Structure formats: C-alpha cells, structure tokens
Amino acid sequence: MPRIRVLSLVNQFPHLFSPLQIGGVTLRNRVFSAGHDTTLPTDGLVNDALVEYQRARAAGGAGLVIVQVAGVHESARYTSHILMVTGDDCIVGYGRLADACHAHGTAVFGQLFHPGREIMESQDGSAPVAYSASAVPTERFHVTPCPLSRRLIGEIVDGYGSGAARLRAAGLDGVEIVASHGYLPAQFLNPRVNLRDDEYGGSDGNRLRFLREVVGSVRAAVGREFVVGLRISADELSHDGLRPDEVTAACSALDETGGLDYVNVTAGSSATLAGSVHIVPPMTVENAYTVPFAAAVKRVVSVPVLVGGRINQPQEAERALASGQADACGMTRALICDPDLPSKAQAGRLDEIRACVACNQACIGHFHMGYPISCIQHPETGRELRHGRRTATSRPRKVLVVGGGPGGLKAAAVAAERGHQVTLHEATSRVGGQVHLAQLLPGRSEFGGIIGNLAGEAERAGARIVTGAPVDLGVVKREGADAVVLATGARPRRLPFETEGSPQVLDAWQLLNGTDPPEGTIVVADWRCDWIGLGVAELLARRGRRVHLCVNGYMPGQRLQQYVRDSWLATVHRLGIDVIPLVRLGGVDEDTVYLQHTTSGETVVLEGIDGVVLAQGHESVTSLASELDALDDVEVHAIGDCVSPRTVEEAVLEGLEVAAAL
Ligand SMILES: Cc1cc2nc3c(=O)[nH]c(=O)nc-3n(C[C@H](O)[C@H](O)[C@H](O)COP(=O)(O)O)c2cc1C
Ligand code: SF4
C-alpha cells in the first residue's frame, strides 16, 4: 500500500518537476521566484539578510531564483533602497547569494532595471529628475519626466551591459532585462509614451531600437552561454499602456534577431493605478489569469516562456504547464509565504503547503512603506537572520495558549515545534478568531485559508487544541501551566456618539454574523479606513441598499495596501456608493446622521437615513490578563489584539516572537 501511494504522489506534478533548459542552464524544476524587491538590501548592495532570504527559497526547492531589480544607471534609483549594479562593489554580495542558492541546486538570475519615469521615492526628500523617452507624465506618481538625450541613452544602454558583466563575474547564471510594468524599455516601445521624432521614436522598428540596443549590449558583455532573458507585460492593462498586439510584435521581432534565451510574461503597468494593481494582483483577481497572455507570446517566440501572476498552488502551476501555455511558473508570493512549497509539493505533502492568500499586506504592503518584506502568515520571511531556524528549547515547559485566533495558533505552533508541551484553549467552538468574519467580506473568502494553514501548523507541531473551552483563573491553575500566552483578541468598539429615539444601529460584526440590515439608505461609519468599512459598504450596496460610506480619513481603504484599496475603490465607484471623506460620527436620530468634518470642525448632516452600520474599530479583551496578575509563579505573555487591536500580521508576528523566546 505505501508503495502505491508514493508512486501516485511522484506522478502528481510531472510537468512542474521536470527540468527545463534555458540557454546554457538547466533548471531542476519549473517553479521559480520572480524578481521582487525585498527592501532588505542596505546601501544598494546584497547583504546577509538578502542572502539568507534567498537561501531559504533555494533550500525549499525552487528551481530558479530571480533576484530583485538592480539599477543599471544612477538615474535608475526608483526607491531609496534599490540594489545597484553600477559598480564592482556589487560583485561580492551577489556572489555570496549565488553560492548560497547553488548549494541547493537552484539557479540564480539577476534583474537589470531602469524605471524611466516610474520614480516612486526620493533619495533625500527632493524630487529627482526622472527620465523617459519623452516628456509624457506618469499618472500614478505624477512625475513629468525629462526626455533622454542620445548621450544618456548611450550611457544607460552601456549600464545594462556592464551590470550584466558584473553579475556574470559574481557567478550568477543569467540576467533578466526588465521591460515589464511600463518601465523604461516599455516606455520606449509604447507609441503613446514615446513621442520622439529621432531614430528612437516613430515607427515600430525605431521604438524597439532602445530594447534591441540593450539586448545587444548585454549579450556582447556576457557572451553566448550566459542566460539573457526579458520580462515583459503582455498587456499593460492601462488606458494608455502597451497592448497585446504591440507586445507580441516586439517579442517576435526580438526573437527573430536572437540574443534572448527566454521571455518572462507578466501583466500591468506601474504608470496607472488600474495597471499597477497587476504588478502584485490581490485576491479579487483570478488565479493564474496571466497564463493565456503567456500562451500568446509563446505562439510567436522560439524560446521558453515563463509566466507568473496569482499562481499560488502547485496544482495551478501544473495545469498551466500541462496545457502547454507556458514553460515555467513564477510563484513569487507563494514562495514568500511558504519557501518550502516546491519540496512539499514534490513529496506529496500538499496539506502542509501554506498557500498565499494574496492579501498583499506584509509583502508588497511593506515594500510600499519602505520596510523589509514579510508575510502575515509566515513572519519568518524577511527575518531569516533571526528566525530562519527554529531552536529546540533546553527547558521544555507546560505552555497554555488562551485564544485560537491567528496569533494564538502561531504561538502554539512555534512553542510546540520547539519542544514545549502546549495546550491551546479556544472559548468558541472553532479556532480562527476574527478571520471567520474577515473572510465574509465581499471578495475576501480566500483570506479564510489562513485558519487552516495556521491550525495545521499547530496540530502538526503537536499542540493540543481544545475548543469550547473558556479560560479563567481556575483553568490556568488546573492546567498547571508554567507559561501562559494570552491571545484573547478584541471586540467591536463603540465610540461614544449621541442618539435620539431608536435609530437602527448595527456594528459590522452583527451584520457579518447575519443580522439583517434595514432597507433603504444606510450610513457606514468607517473609523478604521480598512477592509471592514469598504467590505460592509459593498455588501450593503449589493443587497440593494443606498450607501453613504463616511470615513474618518482621506479615503476608504486609506490604511490598505494600494492595489487592494484601488481595486476596491473601482468597485465602490461601479456600485454607486457615495463616499464622504474626513468625517467622524457625532450623533444619530430616527432618520438623520450628524457627522463632524475632521479638519473644519463643521457639521455634516445626512437626512433620510434608515440605518447606520458601525465600523469603529475594536477594543482589547483584557479580563483574564487582570485576573492573572494575581499569580506570581506563572510567566504571562500577551500578544495581538488583546494588547492593542491591530491586524492578523501583528498577532502572528507576536505569536512567533513570544514562542521563540519561551
Ligand atoms: C514585494 C514585491 C516586490 C516586487 N518587486 C518586483 C521587482 O523587483 N521586479 C519585478 O519584475 N517584479 C516585482 N514584483 C512582482 C513579482 O515579480 C510578481 O510578478 C508578482 O508578485 C505577482 O506574482 P505572484 O502572484 O506569483 O506573487 C514584486 C512583487 C512583490 C510581492
Ligand atoms: S502577506 Fe499575504 S499576499 Fe503577501 S505573501 Fe503573505 S499571504 Fe501572500
């Protein structure tokens, strides 16, 4: 019996786990981590943190790691922490990274990058000059670039070549020219962005000239054996972005000339809010939606075609490859979330895969805020230097975790993995905490996957989970715990506001738990400016209510990652939800809501209102913490919302930190 099981598992992903030849390099399998800026480097150079980050992906079985964008010219600094390949000082760090990955059989390519006009950040607070093919402004960052002179074009083209030579000297296996997402090579290609009347503008051939020169410069610098690839958005999905026919024509022309060993297909553009959503598509975007784009490119080129975009499970990747639409699958966030995904998939341990839920919180969310990337489900990511390896405890103890939300589950998993005897008590009938409600918001059902992932980790680690088991002082004493981790969470907060008569007022939790909202016109009073206000407003609008979404901030979703917020704002617009920014709730009577403008202090009155739904944040549940003050001989730690109401990310991180130190 076991033998038959093993054989069937081995055959589960025959395409994914077959080797792929790209130029002179053979990948051991077809799972790759696409280039992604980690914000780990300091001073523009590969450091220990980035080496350990990529080592973890290699050790987990990825066939290929493509290292994040690296600037090829001084004018390419699009953030204050971008890697640079403009000097020989980059070689040592890249070399260490390549050695770390090669030791696990993983190939390493490096991205060569110039953002053109897509400058996100300044180096010192003053706006740098951004360069592009022409002075066509970018809508997202409101940058009006300076047209590149021929001299600067020459310098940048040379920069691609010398950068590639340095990466070869460092021992990498290849380079990838980033022409995707509306960056500089795409700006030259795009007839709506490139308005030049010299040899770099006008006809298709002229607009392709810059990219041809870049490929030529790179190839001349690295020779024939070293891999040279191209990343391109097959559709920039923007009103003035590159269109599929323009992209396939460019790929076909480049392929005919030779010089490229692969094309890596993605979608979207940095230049517009709608297009940038596709740089890191949130959970509302369909899984593997870019695969047909790859198929279109594959039809016109002779080299392998790679693809990425919402491929978060090996089954998705296998389907894409088996259909012949692509030759390898980028599973970038999938590997941010679970670096061991390839080895688990290959070994048939599918239940153990921690699937990325495309929440965008700690990966691209951190990047946009200028912090090292991580994962809300796996805070070890980006913290490999500190949490890369679990250390067994030298002093196994009885640990009682109180509360089965994400933070409690993570604490239980890590403490049990380290050898403690762990019992988790959850007061309700199921673990998961607020995630159960969060997954009921429209378009957020995938978020619920977090519960199974974390509960599975805790169970596999040997933690005993007891549900329907509230904890008081007596239980703590009976359990004889040496240490207690309090993860008792939070409940809805009711900010004080005046009421008169008996207006229909619900909180978001009541609505999500099934209480019927009143018919007619509803005010959603959104203090947190996050998922809850937006989600509740959408839900009500879809149920036929007229909705005023009144936010105590600049806009709904102000505190959300940009791509998540912007796709949701599109829905808000489509559903005709009325948004009122910068207001706090003041009072409610039978049919009127009184708001106060937060900067002018003036009253805003909404009449003809049939009900109010509150999304006013949460307050910590702290009763047990106060009771435990009476115990001197028990070590007590509190994590997550019961300390201060925040999000899953902080709860899980604190669960890790506390349990790693027990
Ligand atoms: C934090 C982060 C940074 C990124 N930075 C880059 C980058 O440096 N270069 C690039 O080509 N794409 C970048 N991307 C896009 C990814 O390569 C990939 O296309 C995207 O994550 C979608 O694929 P996925 O659904 O498999 O995660 C980034 C993505 C993330 C999450
Ligand atoms: S933070 Fe969210 S989107 Fe990012 S890798 Fe983790 S689960 Fe995926």
pLDDT in tens, 518-552: 999 999 999 999 999 999 999 999 999 999 999 99
Q: For residue range 16-45, what is the model confidence (pLDDT) as tens digits?
A: 999 999 999 999 999 999 999 999 998 999
Ligand nearest to the CA of 454: 2
Of all ligands present, the nearest one to the C-alpha of 320 is: 1
**Spacing of C-alpha 183 from chain mean position:** 20
* Bridge-based pairing state of the strands 490-492 and 618-620: antiparallel
Q: Where are the beta strands (DSSP E) in 573-610?
A: 578-580, 583-588, 592-597, 603-607
What is the atom index within ligand 2 of the atom nearest the CA of 337? 5
Which residues lie closer than 8 Å to 395 by C-beta, 6 or more apart?
A: none
Please write the tens of the pLDDT for every residue from 311-342.
999 999 999 999 999 999 999 999 999 999 99
Q: Whose CA is nearest to atom 8 of ligand 2?
A: 356
Q: Could you give the CA distance from residue 68 to residue 50 in angstroms, rounded to a whole number?
A: 10
Identify the band that residue 231 occupies on the pLDDT scale cut at 50, 70 and 90: very high
Q: Chain-centre distance of CA 288, in angstroms?
A: 15
Nearest-CA residue for ligand 1 atom 20 is: 280
pLDDT at 8 over 60: no
Q: Are 465 and 455 in contact (CB under 8 A)?
A: yes
Residue 551 alpha carbon to ligand 2 centre in Å: 26
Q: Tokens 């090829």 appear where? A: 72
Cα 379 to ligand 2 centroid, rounded to whole Å: 10
Provide residues with CB under 6 Å of ligand 1: 34-37, 68-69, 111, 178, 180, 231, 266, 279-280, 308-311, 330-334, 363-364, 367, 373
DSSP 84-116: E-SSGGGHHHHHHHHHHHHTTT-EEEEEEE--T
Question: In this predicted model, what pLDDT tens digit does every residue of 399-431 receive, in sequence order?
Answer: 999 999 999 999 999 999 999 999 999 999 999
CA distance 662 to 650: 18
Query: At which residue do the structure tokens 């009127």 appear?
Result: 592
Taking each helix axis from N to C terminus, what angle separates 244-257 and 291-298, rounded to the nearest 10 degrees? Answer: 40
- Of 128, 104, 106, nearest to 117 by C-alpha is 128
Instruction: Give CA 514 to chain center in angstroms.
Output: 31
| Residue entry with tokens 């396939």 | 248
Ligand 2: which of 335, 338, 361 to mutate, most ligand atoms within 8 Å of CB?
361
Give residue 467's pLDDT.
Answer: 98
Q: Which of the listed residues 375, 435, 531 should we mutate to test ligand 2's pocket, taking the one with most ligand atoms within 8 A of CB?
A: 375
Looking at every residue in the chain, the average pLDDT score rounds to 96
Ligand 2 centroid to residue 282 C-alpha, Å: 9
pLDDT at 647 over 50: yes
In this structure, the strands spanning 64-71 and 83-84 are parallel
Question: Residue 463 pLDDT > 70, yes or no?
Answer: yes
Element (H, E) at 68: strand 64-71
Enter the tokens of residue 93.
Answer: 């760090």
Q: Indicate left, alpha or beta for 183 from its phi (over 0: left) and psi (-120 to 50: alpha).
A: beta
* Atom 29 (ligand 1) nearest CA: 36
Q: Which ligand is nearest to the CA of 380?
A: 2
Q: How far is CA 199 from CA 150, 188, 189, 202, 569, in A?
A: 10, 11, 13, 8, 41
Ligand 2: residue of 280, 311, 312, 337 to mutate (most ligand atoms within 8 A of CB) is 337
pLDDT per residue as tens digits for the range 157-199:
999 999 999 999 999 999 999 999 999 999 999 999 999 999 9
> Tokens representing 497?
């506001």
Q: What is the pLDDT of residue 2?
A: 39
**Residue 486's pLDDT is what?**
97
Protein residue with least CA distance to atom 2, ligand 2: 359
Structure confidence at residue 631 (pLDDT): 84
Percent share of the chain, pLDDT over 90:
95
Strands (E), 407-551: 421-425, 464-466, 483-486, 490-492, 498-499, 505-507, 521-526, 546-551
Q: Is the CB of 362 under 6 A from ligand 2?
A: yes
Ligand 2 pocket, residue 454 CB under 6 Å: no
User: pTM of the entire structure?
Assistant: 0.97
Q: For residue 649, which atom of ligand 2 is closest to its CA? A: 1
For residue 4, is pLDDT > 70? no
In angstroms, what is the C-alpha Rg of the chain?
27
Angle at the Cα of 341 (from 228 to 567), degrees rounded to 5? Answer: 75
Which residue's alpha carbon is nearest to atom 11 within ligand 1?
A: 35
The SS3 assignment for 480 reads: coil
Taking the CA of 356 as reference, the closest ligand is: 2
The three-state DSSP-derived secondary structure of 156-216 is HHHHHHHHHHHHHHCCCCEEEEECCCCCHHHHHHCCCCCCCCCCCCCCHHHHHHHHHHHHH
C-beta separation of 366 from 373 below 8 A: yes
Atom of ligand 2 nearest to the CA of 376: 1
User: Do 36 and 336 contact (CB within 8 A), yes or no?
Assistant: yes
Q: How many angstroms separate the alpha carbon of residue 308 from the centre of ligand 1?
A: 9
Encode burial over 48-83: b for 16+ CB neighbours within 10 A, e otherwise: ebbbbbbbbbbbbbbbbbbbbbbbbbebbbbbebbb
Q: Give the pLDDT band (50/70/90) at residue 10.
A: low
Q: Is pLDDT above 80 for 361?
A: yes
CA dist 637 → 403, 483, 626, 646, 657 (Å):
12, 8, 12, 17, 11
Residues 35/68, Cβ–Cβ less than 8 Å = yes
How far lies 128's CA from each of 114, 131, 445, 450, in Å?
Answer: 14, 10, 42, 41
Q: What is the largest CA-CA distance in the chain?
A: 83
Q: Do 83 and 49 meet the contact criterion of CB atoms below 8 Å apart?
A: no
Q: Percentage of the chain surpassing pLDDT 70? A: 98
* Per-residue pLDDT band at 11 (split at 50, 70, 90): low
pLDDT single digits (tens) 92-126 = 999 999 999 999 999 999 999 999 999 999 889 99
3-state DSSP call for residue 370? coil
**CA 416–ligand 1 middle distance (angstroms):** 33
Q: Which of 540, 538, 534, 528 is nearest to 565 (CA)?
A: 534
- Name the E strands within 203-251: 227-233
Q: Are 418 and 391 in contact (CB under 8 A)?
A: yes
- pLDDT at res. 60: 98
What is the Å distance from ligand 1's center to 499 Cα? 48
pLDDT at 290: 98
Task: Encode pLDDT of 581-627 as tens digits.
Answer: 999 999 999 999 999 999 999 999 999 999 999 999 999 999 898 88
Ligand 2 centre from 377 Cα, in Å?
Answer: 7
Report CA(415)–ligand 1 centroid distance (Å): 32
Is 487 exposed, middle or buried, given 0-12, 13-18 or 19+ CB atoms closer than 10 A?
A: buried
Arithmetic mean of pLDDT, 2-18:
67
Compute the distance between CA of residue 407 and CA of residue 229 in angstroms, rounded to an integer: 42
Please state the atom number of ligand 2 nearest to the C-alpha of residue 378. Answer: 6
Ligand 1 centre to CA of 220 (Å) is 28
